[in-house]
Amino acid sequence: MRMNWLLVVLLLLPCGGAYAAEAAGGVQSPVPAEKFPPPQPPAESTDRLPAPQVTITTRGTTRYEEYRVGGVLYMIEVIPEKGPPYYLIDRRGTGQFSRSNIAPQMSPPMWLIKRF
């Protein structure tokens, strides 16, 4: 019996706020817009990296595309006449380039198939 009364009270509790608003003089009006102006759109982010400067040179039949940001060379794409292009990438910013056969933004899937 006691549980039934508790259940009734819990179900009627949310109705108390609506009843109090009616008793206070009718339906409450919304908050005026002057008190809470609409949010401003976010400002342009200044931490974006600038677009890379690309310099294209040709030596013989091989084409070289050098990518720089802020004047610092970080990648060279080598496009030979025959064969697939490859990339020389300075991953640590030390001036030491390592060869990669895939584009730097691509990450090949690497699954362990079998261990010997």
pLDDT of the residue at 4: 72
Q: What is the DSSP string of 74-100?
A: EEEEEE-SSS--EEEE-SSSSS--EEE
Q: Which of 23-32, 50-59, 104-113 has the lowest mean pLDDT?
A: 23-32
SS3 22: helix
Tokens of residue 97, six digits: 């380039």
Q: What's the average model confidence in pLDDT over 20-48?
A: 61
CB 97 within 8 Å of CB 87: no
Which one has a higher pLDDT value, 65 or 4? 65
Which one has a higher pLDDT value, 80 or 4? 80
State percent of the chain over pLDDT 70. Answer: 58
pLDDT of the residue at 17: 61
Q: pLDDT for 37-92, tens place per residue?
A: 666 766 665 566 678 899 999 999 999 999 998 888 989 999 999 988 899 988 88
Q: Is 3 left (phi over 0), alpha (psi -120 to 50) or beta?
A: alpha
Q: What is the C-alpha separation between 3 and 5, in angstroms, rounded?
A: 6
Average pLDDT, the chain: 75
**pTM check: above 0.75:** no
* Integer CA distances (angstroms), 69 to 75, 76, 100, in order: 10, 12, 20
Domain 53-100: CATH superfamily, name plus number? Protein of unknown function DUF2782 (2.20.130.30)
